[in-house]
């Protein structure tokens, strides 16, 4: 099934449900090597006169290396029939297994970033900003205790959504 490019304004999905409940794959790399990870934290909105996504990646995640190396990354959203595949991509490391093969998903390559043939919706994003979260910036210290007992605070990326692809 092919994709068609749409504008951000044509999106009909609830972004909170899309990210938190449905989950997404964050993917970066190239034809030779890429990696993906499942995420349920993130956001979309407007900043600096651009439509943007915000993603968060812990320092130990293999995908971080790929997002750091590349100018672009993709966010892929799937139907419920891919829930097990996304669970696998969030629990196994691409250092140890070929996630695409294990999850039964097929990478396609935009000129900027890899994305998945089985996705129903794809955002291609160009990195604009990154910053490591810092413990001293947390106003609610309970969040640190709850989400960062190993002090492995996320690196945040803000990327311009340069293309939206929707399944035809």
Please return the burial class of 162, using the count of CB atoms within 10 Å of its CB with bins 0-12, 13-18 and 19+: middle
Alpha helices in the chain (DSSP H): 15-16, 62-69, 83-91, 99-103, 141-147
pLDDT over 90 at 141, yes or no: yes
Q: Residues 97-125: pLDDT tens digits?
A: 999 999 999 999 988 999 999 999 999 99
pLDDT for the residue numbered 42: 97
Q: Which two tokens stand for residue 99?
A: 């996630």
Q: What DSSP string runs through 63-96?
A: HHHHHHH-SEEEEEE--GGGHHHHHHHHHS-TTT
Q: Residues 24-72: pLDDT tens digits?
A: 999 999 989 999 999 999 999 999 999 999 999 999 999 999 999 999 9
The Cα 57–Cα 51 span in angstroms is: 20
């Amino acid at each position: 099934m092919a994709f068609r490019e749409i504008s951000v304004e044509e999106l009909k999905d609830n972004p909170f449900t899309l990210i938190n409940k449905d989950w997404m794959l964050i993917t970066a790399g190239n034809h030779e090597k890429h990696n993906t990870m499942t995420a349920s934290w993130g956001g979309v909105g407007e900043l600096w006169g651009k439509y943007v996504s915000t993603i968060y990646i812990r320092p130990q995640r293999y995908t971080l290396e790929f997002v750091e190396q590349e100018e672009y990354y993709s966010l892929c959203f799937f139907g419920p029939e891919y829930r097990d595949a996304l669970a696998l991509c969030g629990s196994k490391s691409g250092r140890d297994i070929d996630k695409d093969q294990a999850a039964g998903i097929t990478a396609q390559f935009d000129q900027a970033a890899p994305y998945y043939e089985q996705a129903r919706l794809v955002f291609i994003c160009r990195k604009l900003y990154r910053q490591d979260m810092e413990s001293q910036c947390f106003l609610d210290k309970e969040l640190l205790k709850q989400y960062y007992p190993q002090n492995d605070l996320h690196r945040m990326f803000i990327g311009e959504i340069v293309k939206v692809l929707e399944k035809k």
